[in-house]
């Protein structure tokens, strides 16, 4: 199955917590704090794998988690950093932040992209010793790794896109000029997935051609199969519009041409202005009058016109030479610049909280406090001083005072209850 869209969740590893430890060695008195720092969490990194051509690997697996950093240890030993998570995607995959739809990365090149950064490791208690605080019994927790819900969308990287109604000969054409071997048969929708072929026009040069599954009237609004693949025309530098000039299926070539261009423009107005070459296929089955009438109409539109028979390999060299010449003058394959801007996280930022009173107990809901609570030693005076300073700097103390808390009232933070003292 050809899968070209997927939604996944990625999360970088959390930083490891700093350690609370004191030097213990024979004949060494008052060795002092020696708790090591926590390790950095692993990043989530996307890389291009040119052997992949669909997003099939994301069909069932939806969550991707990098490894957490290890906690610090005694003797000033830092925790091991979490291993980075490498996610492989096909070339041309567009990665958007699902909530905003903003582009985070365009995986068109060969450079790896870090999409979610691992959290920093927490500082061990070795860093908190001062002349007046010689026995710090607390350490810093690691920071959480970034997490995102992503929308992956594959937009094929091709120089030339073949468009047209079903059964007009696009598959026959690409098989005749490249090494691609799509299924070819005399019925509609033989091609169910986009097919890429490399067309070599001399010893050193080539271009990539994409056979886009046949479009029908209403494709841009979801009719038929073509609407699923219109996005793959988006990157093409040049559109080759293939028309059955013989009218072998009782359709009018002019109507076909106009309808397909309408669907392209209705899907994306910019596609309507993309350079286009019109190819009249099945000329061996058409009358001279059919060809002449269609040629006159296309030339009135100011578009290049070529007569071919893909099945009989007639007129192909002239067409390829013109495509190659036009590509020399066109800009490179379209790429997307990242739009998403990461919010800068600084001390004191994103420290939201909520306080409510129930049966005389003041409940503080602050998710960011959970890792800090894990490092607090309620039996250590200096650790409690650090905890009190965090509550005051974050505004929680002021909020409690504002709500009328009295000395001796019970305050609950993440299940840790204590008596409020001014």
Domain with residue 88: its CATH number is 2.70.210.12
Asked if 206 and 291 sit in the same domain, the reply is yes
Report field, pTM of the whole predicted structure over 0.85: no
Last residue of a domain, one of 155, 185, 209: 155
pLDDT in tens, 288-333: 999 999 999 999 999 999 999 999 999 999 999 999 999 999 998 8
Distance CA 62, CA 195 (A): 26
Distance CA 179, CA 330 (A): 24
| Domain span at 14 | 1-155
pLDDT of 382 higher than 60: yes
Asked if 285 and 169 sit in the same domain, the reply is yes
Q: Among 181, 325, 169, 164, which Cα is nearest to 240's?
A: 164
Asked if 22 and 79 sit in the same domain, the reply is yes
**In a domain? residue 348:** no
pLDDT in tens, 245-283: 998 888 899 999 999 888 888 878 888 788 999 999 999
The arithmetic mean of pLDDT across residues 385-398, rounded, is: 86
Distance CA 193, CA 170 (A): 13
Mean pLDDT of the chain: 85
Asked if 183 and 300 sit in the same domain, the reply is yes
| C-alpha to C-alpha distances, 220 to 109, 211, 262, 399, nearest whole angstrom | 29, 17, 9, 55
The per-residue pLDDT for 340 is 85
Last residue of a domain, one of 155, 170, 201: 155
Asked if 377 and 320 sit in the same domain, the reply is no
Half-sphere exposure of 114 (CA within 13 A, CB side): 13
DSSP code of 202?
S
pLDDT of 216 higher than 70: no
| C-alpha to C-alpha distances, 187 to 164, 249, 337, nearest whole angstrom | 14, 10, 40
Distance CA 229, CA 249 (A): 23
What total of structural domains would you count in the chain? Answer: 3
Asked if 173 and 261 sit in the same domain, the reply is yes
Asked if 267 and 360 sit in the same domain, the reply is no
Distance CA 379, CA 349 (A): 29
pLDDT of 182 higher than 70: no
**In a domain? residue 181:** yes
Asked if 410 and 313 sit in the same domain, the reply is no
The arithmetic mean of pLDDT across residues 190-211, rounded, is: 80
**In a domain? residue 59:** yes
**In a domain? residue 6:** yes
Whose structure tokens read 């909020």?
399
**In a domain? residue 339:** no
Last residue of a domain, one of 155, 184, 213: 155
CA end-to-end span of the chain: 66
| C-alpha to C-alpha distances, 168 to 131, 316, 402, 415, nearest whole angstrom | 85, 15, 76, 70
**In a domain? residue 340:** no
Asked if 92 and 199 sit in the same domain, the reply is no
**In a domain? residue 349:** no
| C-alpha to C-alpha distances, 290 to 13, 105, 255, 331, nearest whole angstrom | 65, 48, 13, 35
Asked if 28 and 143 sit in the same domain, the reply is yes
pLDDT of 417 higher than 50: yes
The arithmetic mean of pLDDT across residues 376-392, rounded, is: 78
pLDDT of 371 higher than 90: no
The per-residue pLDDT for 192 is 52
């Amino acid at each position: 199955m050809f899968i070209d869209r997927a939604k996944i969740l990625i999360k970088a590893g959390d930083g490891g917590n700093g350690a609370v430890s004191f030097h213990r060695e024979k004949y060494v008195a008052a060795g002092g704090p020696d708790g090591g720092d926590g390790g950095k969490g692993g990043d989530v990194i996307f890389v291009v794998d040119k052997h992949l051509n669909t997003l099939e690997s994301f069909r069932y697996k939806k969550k991707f988690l990098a490894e957490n950093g290890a906690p610090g240890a005694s003797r000033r030993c830092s925790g091991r950093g979490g291993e980075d998570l490498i996610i492989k995607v096909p070339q041309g995959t567009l990665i958007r932040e699902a909530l905003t739809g903003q582009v985070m990365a365009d995986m068109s090149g060969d450079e790896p992209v870090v999409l979610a950064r691992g959290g920093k490791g927490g500082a061990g208690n070795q860093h908190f010793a001062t002349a007046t605080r010689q026995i710090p019994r607390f350490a810093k927790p690691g920071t959480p790794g970034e997490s995102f819900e992503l929308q992956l969308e594959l937009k094929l990287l091709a120089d030339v896109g073949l468009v047209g109604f079903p059964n007009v000969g696009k598959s026959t054409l690409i098989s005749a000029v490249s090494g691609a071997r799509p299924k070819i048969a005399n019925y509609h929708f033989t091609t169910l997935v986009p097919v890429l072929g490399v067309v070599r026009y001399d010893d050193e040069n080539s271009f990539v051609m994409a056979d886009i599954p046949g479009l029908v009237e209403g494709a841009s609004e979801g009719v038929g199969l073509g609407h699923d693949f219109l996005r793959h025309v988006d990157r093409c530098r040049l559109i080759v519009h293939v028309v059955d000039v013989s009218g072998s299926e009782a359709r009018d070539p002019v109507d076909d041409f106009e309808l397909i261009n309408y669907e392209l423009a209705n899907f994306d107005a910019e596609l309507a202005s993309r350079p286009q070459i019109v190819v009249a296929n099945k000329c061996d089955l058409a009358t001279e009058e059919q060809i002449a009438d269609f040629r006159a109409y296309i030339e009135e539109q100011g578009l290049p016109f070529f007569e071919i028979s893909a099945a009989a390999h007639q007129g192909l060299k002239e067409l390829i030479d013109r495509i190659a010449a036009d590509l020399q003058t066109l800009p490179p394959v379209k790429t997307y610049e990242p739009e998403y801007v990461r919010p800068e996280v600084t001390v004191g930022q994103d420290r939201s909280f909520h306080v409510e009173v129930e049966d005389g107990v003041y409940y503080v809901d602050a998710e960011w406090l959970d890792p800090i609570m894990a490092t607090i030693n309620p039996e250590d005076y200096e650790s409690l001083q650090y905890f009190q300073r965090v509550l005051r700097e974050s505004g929680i103390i002021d909020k409690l005072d504002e709500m009328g808390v009295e000395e001796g009232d019970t305050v609950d933070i993440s299940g840790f209850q204590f008596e409020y003292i001014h």
